[in-house]
Chain A
């Protein structure tokens, strides 16, 4: 059944690329066989330029201009006013004392979210990877069990849990059935915050399990055999062999998950919409709402908040590069 499809695909492939043969040959005559590399690079560079490099420069113009016009020519220069509005706080630990209290609430929420989500996710990912690293039957199947939610779209993930957690949902029914009190999970601030952490761990854990599992499997088995011969206890083997040898992988996992957590948005936006109140409002949702959802659209504030977030991400990414380099070097020691 697949053979004719593959044949047809191959035919289309040859036809399309053959069609470009003559124009590309003409270009090659002009550029010579070396400088044609730039022609191959061109499409990518145009897209990069238009949608990555140019916007980076533009974002500084937005952050230093005011009004709700999207066109830069119509925006008056305001200097660092947008930043000072965002950073104007009597006490940074108390969002209510800030001029933009929602921004600071979002920062507080994001801070807690990052710490708790990354912390627990890595703990559970590590336990899972260790369990799956054993010689158990159906290992491939169990690996897929953990990985499956990673593939689901954030909207689907949020709707699945919304259905489970709703007031008259299956979780409350199960609690009531066993005589426990029921809770309106997504409408009580603390519980809503618990569930956004839980759901985002549920959705992303499988990815980190895979990476940690790959790390565990790269530990040579003769190290364990030697430890066993020396009569090392299981706990000692874990703390003195597995954990140190896994550290480079761990570091990558920590930094990757930190970068993701700082930018968390999709599932949470659909699951709680930032509510109740602003209990689960995170920084990216603040940026989205300030820039696109609320009228008038305050592009300047949103761009300034983006730049502040970019600084945090930049620091984390530099950390990642450092960690990855250390890992590459550490491989030889």
Chain B
């Protein structure tokens, strides 16, 4: 068993078997990781008819139509592959049973009869952009996007504000009960909300927040992860800086937002990235709290469309792409910060 390639850490100068294995592994990985996403991107530009096709074509193709003299509507082009007119490219006028009445676009006067099994449609590369535009016209995409964006942005702002205030208190003050509070907050890491669904639902219901975006926002803004992350970072800010500001008669509040917050920017950025990711992708809790479709987030809308019997895959796939697009763009821009942030803090 050649596991050598797994242990190699430095290049040897020549391209040996371990390099081959490495590259085969990496290219298989690219194919497996990106392939399905790419396939959905390509599929999302196909018409519903093209999506029903089996086996599917790689690229989105659409039938070619031509306008022929003497006919008002554009006619669809076919290549005849057998029979009397084999090799010609003809436009179909109409179909009668198994026979198709066709004309040569160059010579529209003469009508030709072709068996429908003897012809294949002529097609060209074309993007079915209507899959995307229909989302806005018929599927309320704008509303779901707004709901998701509202929850993500508002929840992230509140999360960062509340968590940084708590972290400030826990890192920069000596008061009785500090350790207990900190331990209590960290202990909640052990109790993921998923095992408290029913009582949390009761609290949300009692507060009248069922079917409201606030019912999704409030329960998860006090993240123990965020408090922990920020506290650890704030501990590294020297207290002298704070005392100097206090000498200048700055209030504690001012010390917090003029000194500590700006200096914690790197840790805040990590928390912002996490929070955006959590909120945009959140599924189970919104599924429980939001039951009316006008309150749905994008994730819920996607889920409910795919659950319907008559799912139009063309629209569903387009919506999938638009849902993954914002996160993909954020990742493309902030890639380095995301990966190093996660690697260094060990949370997701």
Contacts and interface: CB of A to CB of B under 8 A. Distances in A.
A265 B192 CA distance: 13
A44 B303 contact: no
A296 B31 CA distance: 46
B252 A33 contact: yes
B7 A202 contact: no
Given A38-B169, A47-B162, A234-B4, A176 B55 contact: yes
Interface residues of B, number: 101
A152 B327 contact: yes
B107 interface: no
Contacts of B317: 159, 163
Interface stretch (A84-92, A94-102, A113-121, A205-213): A205-213
B320 A159 contact: yes
Interface string B1-36: 001111111110000000000100110011011101
Nearest to A49: B222
Nearest to B306: A159
Interface stretch (A103-111, A184-192, A285-293): A285-293
B49 interface: no
B39 interface: yes
Interface string A144-164: 111111111111100111111
B134 interface: no
Nearest to A54: B203
Contacts of A147: 338-339
Contacts of B146: none
B203 A48 contact: no
A117 B250 CA distance: 54
Nearest to A271: B306
A151 B327 contact: yes
A34 B327 contact: no
Contacts of B203: 50-51, 54-55, 58
Given A130-B7, A238-B3, A317-B189, A41 B169 contact: yes
Given A28-B252, A146-B29, A43 B165 contact: yes
Contact of A21 (B22, B178, B253): B253
Contacts of B172: 37
Chain B facing A: main interface SS: helix
B263 interface: no
Contacts of A284: 194, 284
A71 to B, nearest CB: 8
A61 B38 CA distance: 49
A70 interface: yes
B214 interface: no
B97 interface: no
Nearest to A31: B252
A81 interface: no
Nearest to A236: B7
Interface residues of A, number: 105
Nearest to B11: A135
A78 interface: no
Interface string B242-260: 0000100001111011000
B120 interface: no
A185 to B, nearest CB: 13
A234 B12 CA distance: 13
Contacts of B343: 210-211, 213-214
Interface in B234-286: 246, 251-254, 256-257, 277, 280-281, 283-284
Contacts of A302: 197-198
Contact of B9 (A135, A161, A288): A135
B318 to A, nearest CB: 11
Interface in B314-347: 316-317, 320, 323-324, 327-328, 331, 335-336, 338-339, 342-344, 346
Nearest to B291: A292
14 contacts: A38-B169, A41-B181, A45-B166, A45-B222, A48-B185, A59-B198, A144-B335, A153-B281, A159-B40, A159-B317, A234-B4, A238-B3, A288-B288, A292-B197
Interface of A: 17, 20-21, 24-25, 28, 33-38, 40-41, 43-45, 47-48, 50-59, 61-62, 70-72, 127-128, 130-131, 133-136, 140, 142-156, 159-164, 168, 170, 173, 176-177, 202, 207, 210-211, 213-214, 221, 224, 233-235, 237-238, 242, 252, 256, 259, 263, 265-266, 270, 284, 287-288, 291-292, 299, 302-303, 306-307, 309-310, 313-314, 317
Which 8 pairs between the two chains have the least Cβ-Cβ distance?
A: A55-B199, A58-B199, A153-B281, A24-B253, A238-B7, A37-B173, A47-B222, A40-B169
Interface of B: 3-11, 22, 25-26, 29-30, 32-34, 36-37, 39-40, 43, 52, 54-56, 161-163, 165-166, 168-170, 172-175, 178, 181, 184-185, 188-203, 205, 218-222, 227, 246, 251-254, 256-257, 277, 280-281, 283-284, 287-288, 299, 302-303, 306, 313, 316-317, 320, 323-324, 327-328, 331, 335-336, 338-339, 342-344, 346, 348
